[in-house]
Amino acid sequence: TQHFSYQDDTLNIDGISLKELAIEYGTPLYVYSKKALVENFRQYADTCKRFESDKIHSLVCYSVKSNSNLAILNILGQEGAGFDIVSGGELQRVIAAGCDPRKVIFSGVGKTANEIGLALKHDIHCFNIESFAELHRINQVAQEMGKQARVSFRVNPNVDPKTHPYISTGLKENKFGIPYEEALACYKAAASMTNIDVTGIDCHIGSQLLDDAPLLEALDKLLHLVDQLSEEGITLKHIDIGGGIGITYDDEKPVAISDYLTRLFTRVENWRKQKHPDQSIGLMFEPGRSISGNAGLLLTQVQYLKTNSDKNFAIVDAAMNDLMRPSLYEAWHKVLPVSNRKGEATSYDIVGPVCESGDWLAKQRELVIQADDILAIMSAGAYGMAMASNYNTRGRAAEVLVDNGNAYLIRRRETPEELFALESVLP
């Protein structure tokens, strides 16, 4: 967040005035810092490089779902990122952004035959399989295409990530992955299939994790399975530990990425030396939020100030359709006035124009504001624009990326005509 700072009482992003961006591009407006994005990615990449050897290699696969704008994918691709995707659409985005589909891993519980075919056509790195039925479907599609599909099983390690229940995915009761106890049987079945190339193992236990202990616990469980598999003659080439490291929205103190990766690589290296000294192993990561989250914010303009009985509302021009996290998870985002005013602060609920009581962006914030002021909703780079909708026939916000003192429009605002262009009335 050192990328966002006040200069002369005006909030700046990498030296550019957010007030000027709001005037030039209008609001609501997502604004990202390329510098922050790249720095966040390098937290992963630099530590990976430190541990690189002829026996250990790694690939950081940015989780496209957290922010899938082509400009962002393109920048990360240039930094050497691979990509974690969950749909054929995301694969097409990666390709459209000029990135290498052979660095793509395909997660998700519901891959269709078409999506599998598309991924095979582009020779993606690996399918992260989530069920026995999916294994059969992938084998079948690969057979029809005369291809070999590289696969990993997403194993559910049943560890508690200690995060919000809506974004925790590694517990038994979740729909994700295959149960730990069934993993061996799945691998054996896969190993006997003609068009399947068993290459890895993966997991993802949840999102916004502040502590890496649950991730290291999950790693130990995966390593144990890798040992069992190698006794059965199944040798894996990579271990993918998923994403999940959290960010600071308020005063959370997430583990430093370099510390987490250092602990992880050290564990894997010790295990490898002890158990599989002649083998080489790859490590993969699927971070989303920790790369894009604090690289972006949402600018919105106050339309009206309003008081109902004893509550004060700031009605702004961004809404739940622009940033769904507060209404969906009661997520907390910091709200900063773009221009500081002097005076006594009042407690406001920041709400949007959508016709739902759940349409709020922040509650009970002490602010000195007036109508027409611009507010910055912070930490909105991940799962912000990516989850935006057109509810209430609201065009989605524009997106601007700041790079080296210049601002670039990386997605223009949608017009109302575009929102109903695909519809037609009965003849």
Residues noted as catalytic? 355
Toward ligand LLP, which CB reaches closer, 33 or 207? Answer: 207
Residues 81-94 as b or e (16 or more Cβ within 10 Å = b): bbbbbbbbebbebb
Site for ligand LLP in 151-190 (CB under 6 A): 167
Q: Pick from 243, 296, 337, 381: which binds ligand LLP (CB under 6 A)?
A: 243
Size of the site for ligand LLP (CB under 6 A): 19
Site for ligand LLP in 366-385 (CB under 6 A): 383
Shortest Å, Cβ 339 to ligand LLP = 28
Q: Is 115 in the site for ligand LLP (CB under 6 A)?
A: no
Encoding tokens for residue 176? 């994700």
Site for ligand LLP in 18-57 (CB under 6 A): none
Q: Is 333 in the site for ligand LLP (CB under 6 A)?
A: no
* Rounded-to-integer distance, Cα 69 and Cα 283, Å: 26
Shortest Å, Cβ 46 to ligand LLP = 18
Q: Pick from 204, 238, 334, 396: which binds ligand LLP (CB under 6 A)?
A: 204
Toward ligand LLP, which CB reaches closer, 29 or 386? Answer: 386
Burial of 392 (0-12, 13-18, 19+ CB in 10 A): middle
Which long-range contacts (C-beta less than 8 Å, at least 24 apart) are formed by 361-364?
361/300, 361/316, 361/318, 361/319, 361/320, 361/323, 361/326, 361/333, 361/335, 362/326, 362/332, 362/333, 362/335
β 16-17/29-33 pair status:
unpaired
Shortest Å, Cβ 322 to ligand LLP = 13
Angle in degrees, CA 369, 370, 375, rounded to 5: 55
263 annotated ligand-binding residue: no
- Using CB under 6 A as the criterion, which residues of the chain lie in contact with ligand LLP when the complex forms? 63, 66, 84, 107, 167, 204, 207-208, 242-244, 286-290, 325, 329, 383
Q: Which residues are annotated as a binding site for substrate?
A: 289, 325, 329, 356, 383
